[in-house]
Structure 1
């Protein structure tokens, strides 16, 4: 009888050892097996509130891993079961189950992007946001009319010019308001820092005035390296009490009536933005200026230049000190343009 019990005990021990070895072998083999998918890369989403069991089952159902229960067990054994972060993840071939788990715990979610291009108006920026498939649209037309209030900006501030041109990366379901908040804060930060390190100028009294002038420089710039000299032209004109006489401000003031051409009648038609009829800076920026345009206002080139005109379409500008010199440069531009247009 004792022998039977000994044999049964030995059998049970052998069984436990065998089962344990098989489980360990399967578990170890599972951890060393790369994920599989019909797509590379594969996009996998962990929804908010998902448990590790739900995630493991979804991975198995999609054929990414072979055994959801082993992924669940691995997460529990490593203490990661309650550390998974919601979001979209990009999975690539060659990753192993432990790589997936670490990625889910790290929160390295898939990022999308949208660039704000310098020289664009706020209307253009809104259109780009509304067309982006991964930005959650929460703002109505009425909301956009009071967008600066929603961004906790000072009362009365207009949105034009206040969104820093950059390429922004963000996870899916970022809202339109969150995107704008990030860009607005980035512009505030950059403008404040640039203002602190500026060269003093009595005609630019506030950071907002610098932003307005930077927007004009952005629209007037043919070549990036000319920005500081263009800034000097406008600062010199402000110092002498001259009209800025810059076409982009007139175009901005024309609004929807602008058809791609600007005529003498447009230059004579008064609007708050017509710098041919009104002195000083316009009331708001006319576009979103780049960092380089802001820097040009804060650190302009030196010189007595008061005028500039392109030497040819798309070419460098000729900067002049006197009106006579400028008029000759304009005539040369017309000649060069006509030559370029001839077949």
Structure 2
């Protein structure tokens, strides 16, 4: 079998031979410039090149992070290849053993390494903007401005209140230099893919839009400490919606009060004027109170049929709930839980 020839290496060696023969390079200098390993790293280390970066900025970053053994030969080759005119933003891996030619080939081609961005159950848009900006190049303020722009989110079919329902929690692979707008557009594509024909049909059968499903799922997710209870809780809240009852969901009150340390919802919390307070307002709040999991969304789309109207955390603090179909049953359950709170001296 014929041995496969590495074309790139062959061309480089031929060029190197020509330079040596013509006297433009000595053998030692040619070796250092083209062939010798020049990375000063023992394990993979990243060079981050911002969008619009100058050659000087790249040099400063390389120097600051101590990426090269011999910077002079690297910049000699960079000048030969006019790298200053070919800078591409991105996250680039420097590995042990790489030579100048391999490094420049990577940088000029823009062969950057993607980042993994994973998110789930992020409570606020501001928290999400901060999380995304830690993994990607854009700053949290630029992303927050998009989420708060009525005109921008309207062009995608959302309001500034419900736009948070667009972000489907998962793990995503993308490039570090993704802009805030590009990130939004990517997430919108993921949203469109997620809301396939089957999910849309189920939402329609419930007489809910995808945004409303996600808003309800955010309440279900906040109530359910045990995932297996999600379909039951979803069924309960759908029963309330069908009957025209207030949802009276404690997590919405906590959100309305903007105090996430509340462990015991009191009357003073219930009186908080807010469109998110479902003790004061009928129907769903205008937006989600957290980023619900896919399990919670699917629980709303596939609720467990029941005649429950009330729920209360179990007095054993197991994370499970006592469900009830009548107010009389519920008051018995609520009393047991309140007594358990008192025994543990949980006052707020």
TM-score of the two chains, using structure 2 as the length reference: 0.68
Unaligned runs of at least 5 residues, structure 1: 1-15
**Which string of whole-angstrom CA distances, capped at 9 and with x for unpartnered residues, describes residues 70-93 of structure 1?**
9679989xxx99988543311111
Of residues 152, 157, 166 in structure 2, which corresponds to 1:154? 157
**Which string of whole-angstrom CA distances, capped at 9 and with x for unpartnered residues, describes residues 131-170 of structure 1?**
77843466397x3574352243337453343333334555
Give the Cα–Cα distance (whole angstroms) in 1 for the partners of residues 67 and 277 of structure 2. Answer: 64
CA contact (8 A) 2:254 2:265 kept: yes
Give the Cα–Cα distance (whole angstroms) in 1 for the partners of residues 271 and 76 of structure 2. Answer: 77
Give the Cα–Cα distance (whole angstroms) in 2 for the partners of residues 259 and 336 of structure 1. Answer: 19
Corresponding position of 1:324? 328
Give the Cα–Cα distance (whole angstroms) in 2 for the partners of residues 145 and 86 of structure 1. Answer: 25
Structure 1 vs Structure 2 CA RMSD? 4.5
Corresponding position of 1:89? 92
TM-score of the two chains, using structure 1 as the length reference: 0.69
The structure with the largest alpha-carbon Rg is 1
SS at match of 2:92: strand
Quick check: 289-298 or 305-314, which moved more? 305-314
Deviation at 1:289, TM superposition (A): 1.9
Give the Cα–Cα distance (whole angstroms) in 2 for the partners of residues 263 and 273 of structure 1. Answer: 16
SS at match of 1:153: coil
Deviation at 1:206, TM superposition (A): 1.9
Corresponding position of 1:211? 214
Give the Cα–Cα distance (whole angstroms) in 1 for the partners of residues 210 and 231 of structure 2. Answer: 17
**Which string of whole-angstrom CA distances, capped at 9 and with x for unpartnered residues, describes residues 44-100 of structure 1?**
45676989xx99xx8999435784499679989xxx999885433111113345643
CA contact (8 A) 2:33 2:74 kept: no
Give the Cα–Cα distance (whole angstroms) in 2 for the partners of residues 326 and 295 of structure 1. Answer: 27
Give the Cα–Cα distance (whole angstroms) in 1 for the partners of residues 342 and 126 of structure 2. Answer: 34
- Counting only pairs closer than 5 Å after superposition, residues 46-195 of structure 1 correspond to structure 2 as 62-63=68-69, 67-68=73-74, 85-97=88-100, 99-100=102-103, 103-104=106-107, 107-112=110-115, 115-128=118-131, 134-136=137-139, 139=142, 143=145, 146-151=148-153, 152-154=155-157, 156-158=159-161, 159-192=163-196, 195=199
Q: Judging changes above 3 Å, is the alpha-carbon distance between structure 1 residues 276 and 45 closer, same or farther for their aligned structure 2 residues?
A: closer
CA contact (8 A) 1:118 1:289 kept: yes
Corresponding position of 2:280? 277
Corresponding position of 2:233? 230
**Which string of whole-angstrom CA distances, capped at 9 and with x for unpartnered residues, describes residues 219-269 of structure 1?**
21212222212111111222333321111223333457x873632243245
**Which string of whole-angstrom CA distances, capped at 9 and with x for unpartnered residues, describes residues 95-121 of structure 1?**
345643554465332445554431512
Q: Judging changes above 3 Å, is the alpha-carbon distance between structure 1 residues 129 and 36 closer, same or farther for their aligned structure 2 residues?
A: closer
Deviation at 1:37, TM superposition (A): 0.7
Give the Cα–Cα distance (whole angstroms) in 2 for the partners of residues 319 and 145 of structure 1. Answer: 37
CA contact (8 A) 1:121 1:161 kept: no
Unaligned runs of at least 5 residues, structure 2: 1-16
Corresponding position of 2:5? none
Of residues 293, 298, 305 in structure 2, which corresponds to 1:295? 298
Give the Cα–Cα distance (whole angstroms) in 1 for the partners of residues 36 and 204 of structure 2. Answer: 65
Report how many aligned residue pairs link the two structures: 317
